[in-house]
Structure 1
Amino acid sequence: MPVQLNHTIVYSSDKKRSAEFLADLLGLEVRPQYGPFLPVVTANDVALDFADAGEEPITPQHYAFLVSEEEFDTIFARIQEARLTYYADPMRSRPGEINHNDGGRGVYWADPDGHMLEIITRHYGGEKPA
């Protein structure tokens, strides 16, 4: 079997709020709690397992999602409807813009704990999603 990413843990100050935030924007569902985790699973079966950080500080991470052009439009509309600040770049130097890198579109925004989320319509290097 080739190596595949199966899951990653996303530490948050409120796992339910954070899992619902991501799931609602991406049009996914929050799966039933498994141990201490609330999973949100993408179409390629990678789970983002949301966990409460407790007293530990949260180190912001970056999570990028490859989407179709139609999904981009839908998700981007939800971002705008929620009045979230979005950026064309991960350094947050281009607020209120999307990018057109690699012949596609991309946009970044922060979740409630400062994790940077991104949707892109092309793989880096210009490949279209399968």
Structure 2
Amino acid sequence: MSVQLNHTIVYARDKRESAEFFTQLLGLEITGEWGPFVAVALSNGVTLDFATMPEGRIASQHYAFLVSEEEFDAAYALIKERGIEHYADPHREQPGAINHNDGGRGVYFMDPAGHAMELITVPYGGWPA
């Protein structure tokens, strides 16, 4: 068996709020709840297991998602409709814009827990020839 990422824990101030933010934005569903986790499955079988951070500060993480052009259009429309601050770059120097890196489109924004989210339509370096 080859090595594959199966799941990762995404800490949040409120696990349900963060999971619902994510599912609504990308047209996904909550696929399970057990113990301290609210799980969201991605199309490649990986789950994001949202968990409420007990006490203390949540360390901001970066999560990048490869999406189709149609998924990008739908998510970006919601980002604009909801007034979510977004940027064309990770350094937040190009507000209210998207990028066209590698011949695709990309956008950066923060989730409710302060994690840096990125949507891209083409993988870094472009599609293999």
Q: Same fold (TM over 0.5)?
A: yes
- The separation in 1 between residues aligned to 2:91 and 2:114, in whole angstroms, is 13
Say if 2:119 is the partner of 1:93.
no
1:79-109 Cα deviation digits (max 9, x unpaired): 1111101100111111101000001000011
1:33-81 Cα deviation digits (max 9, x unpaired): 1221001111111111000101131000011110111111111111111
Question: Number of aligned pairs?
Answer: 128
* Conserved 8 A contact 2:32-2:40: no
The equivalent of 2:34 in structure 1 is 34
What code does the residue aligned with 1:115 have? Answer: H
Q: Structure 1 runs of 4+ off > 6 angstroms? A: none
Calculate percent identity across the aligned residue pairs: 60
What code does the residue aligned with 1:37 have? Answer: F
* Conserved 8 A contact 2:88-2:94: yes
Q: TM-score, normalised by structure 1?
A: 0.95
The equivalent of 1:115 in structure 2 is 115
Q: TM-score, normalised by structure 2?
A: 0.95
Q: How much is the aligned-residue C-alpha RMSD, in angstroms?
A: 1.0
- In structure 1, runs of 5+ residues without a counterpart are none
